[in-house]
Amino acid sequence: MSEVWLGDIRLRNRLVTSSSLLGYGAPDPGLVPYGMSPISRFVPLERFGAVTTRTLTVQPRDGHFTNRTDWPLHALPGLLRRYATVLRGVDGGWINAFGWCNVGIQAYLRDYYPRTRDQNTIISVGGFAAEEFVALVDAVNAAVPPDEIAAVEFNVSCPNVDHDFEPILAGVLADAVPASRHPVILKLSPDRDYVRHARRAAAAGVSALTAINTVRALRLNPRTGQPLLANRYGGLSGRAVKPIGLRVVAELRDAGITLPVIATGGIRTFDDCREYFWAGADAVSLGSASWLASYPGYALAPLWGWRIRSILKRIELVSDKQGYSAVCHSPAAQPHGLPNG
Ligand SMILES: Cc1cc2nc3c(=O)[nH]c(=O)nc-3n(C[C@H](O)[C@H](O)[C@H](O)COP(=O)(O)O)c2cc1C
């Protein structure tokens, strides 16, 4: 099997999945398909370069949704109504405000991680203080031997947990990065000074960057003025953010950032991947396109699965530098950043 190395991060190929969209990489132990994308039933997750988990916190969190899974049938309409206050389709994308709804790091490591060992995993962690990131890294260190996962991803860029990460960034980088026995990825927000954050990450020994997290966004009901989401603000993802993601990746390269970049933002087709490679990405990541559809759209999951499998097939051909150059080669231009590996 071909592999791609982004610095010290080992990926199976250049296509990974973005944090949260495939839950924890395995269905809830109780209800078989719960917590997993319908598409995941048609795409073997071990074929991805890596699967990134939902962001995990020290303690379990309901965020703005719920971790409860034992919903009786008669309560399902209420659950769907609640779901609509944390995730809404908007023009060209989605806004969500799950607010780090997750089972907590210990439950993940105990109940989910052991069932995903055949996948290559990126464990996403998030906290509100540097000490929480250290505690999360310690928990992963204790449960996961080196080389068993691709990396740990630090989420200091979520727009819907109503927290200003700016004051804790220096502490997170100084304390939690050296504490990790696994490579660390820093996930960047398009709403922040991502070039400065990337420079700080490089100086602190971070192995790679993920760009971008969702874009802070707002939608109101035009008749009532009420926000569509329970948290008022949410994070915009999907097609609408692709030009923003491309801008961020290109600006990182223009600013001389040399850390490997995993690009996420509106990717749906192989051409989207190519665009990101041209902008300077080393790997690309499927987010909304690996899960989100209108409810009737889920009937098309087998078709989506087929589309994702065809992207994977083409991506597998661009694992090495040669294959990558061949895909992006044009006489007029060269890719901005040549991926490692
Ligand atoms: C429903 C939903 C939940 C998300 N949850 C997380 C999360 O827990 N942690 C995180 O770092 N990013 C999270 N994201 C952001 C995605 O990982 C990705 O960075 C973003 O959606 C851009 O990619 P896309 O346009 O392909 O979806 C979430 C996105 C969506 C749509």
**Ligand 1 pocket, residue 124 CB under 6 Å:** yes
Q: Output the CA 74–ligand 1 centroid distance in Å.
A: 30
Tens-digit pLDDT profile for residues 314-330: 999 887 666 666 665 44
**Ligand 1 pocket, residue 55 CB under 6 Å:** yes
Choice among 101, 158, 273, 328 that is catalytic: 158
What pLDDT does 298 receive? 79
What b-and-e string marks burial along 55-88, b requiring 16 or more CB atoms within 10 Å of the CB? bbbbeebebbbeeeeeeeeeeeeeeeeeeebbbb
Architecture of domain 4-60+101-222+238-328: Alpha-Beta Barrel (3.20)
Tens-digit pLDDT profile for residues 132-158: 999 999 999 999 999 999 999 999 999
Atom 13, ligand 1: which residue's CA is nearest? 19
Distance, C-alpha 204 to centroid of its chain? 22
Contact 125, 140 (CB under 8 A): yes
> Using CA atoms, how far apart are residues 64 and 103, in angstroms rounded to an integer?
13
**Ligand 1 pocket, residue 319 CB under 6 Å:** no
What pLDDT does 294 receive? 74
Decide if 158 is catalytic. Answer: yes
What pLDDT does 320 receive? 67
> Using CA atoms, how far apart are residues 109 and 180, in angstroms rounded to an integer?
16
What b-and-e string marks burial along 172-202, b requiring 16 or more CB atoms within 10 Å of the CB? bbebbbebbebbbbbbbbbbbebbebbbbbb
* DSSP at 95: E
Per-domain residue ranges of the chain: 4-60+101-222+238-328
**DSSP 3-state percent helix, strand, coil across the chain (nearest 5):** 40, 20, 45
Separation in Å, CA 252 to CA 21, 216, 267: 25, 20, 19
Residue matched to tokens 């749906």: 268
What pLDDT does 40 receive? 86
| pLDDT in 10s for each residue of the chain, 341 residues | 579 999 999 999 999 999 999 999 998 876 656 778 888 889 999 999 999 999 999 999 999 999 888 888 898 899 889 999 999 999 999 999 999 999 999 999 999 999 999 999 999 999 999 999 999 999 999 999 999 999 999 999 999 999 999 999 999 999 999 999 999 999 999 999 999 999 999 999 999 999 999 999 999 999 999 999 999 999 999 999 999 999 999 999 999 999 999 999 999 999 999 999 999 999 999 999 998 777 777 788 899 999 999 999 999 988 766 666 666 544 444 444 444 44
User: Which amino acid, 276?
Assistant: Y
DSSP run (H or E) holding 327: helix 321-328
What pLDDT does 332 receive? 42
CA-nearest of 318, 316, 312, 317 to 42 is: 312
What pLDDT does 70 receive? 81
Q: Which atom of ligand 1 is nearest to the CA of 94?
A: 31
> Using CA atoms, how far apart are residues 99 and 103, in angstroms rounded to an integer?
13
Q: Which of 51, 214, 242, 244 to mutate to test the pocket of ligand 1 (most atoms within 8 A of CB)?
A: 214
> Using CA atoms, how far apart are residues 46 and 26, in angstroms rounded to an integer?
11
**Ligand 1 pocket, residue 87 CB under 6 Å:** yes
Interhelix angle 242-254/270-279, rounded to 10 degrees, is 30
Kindly give, in sequence order, each residue whose CB lies less than 8 Å from that of residue 223, ignoring residues fewer than 6 positions away. none
pTM of the prediction? Answer: 0.94
Return the structure tokens found at 109: 């490591």
**Ligand 1 pocket, residue 123 CB under 6 Å:** no
| 3 state SS for 18-34 | CCCCCCCCCCCCCCCCC
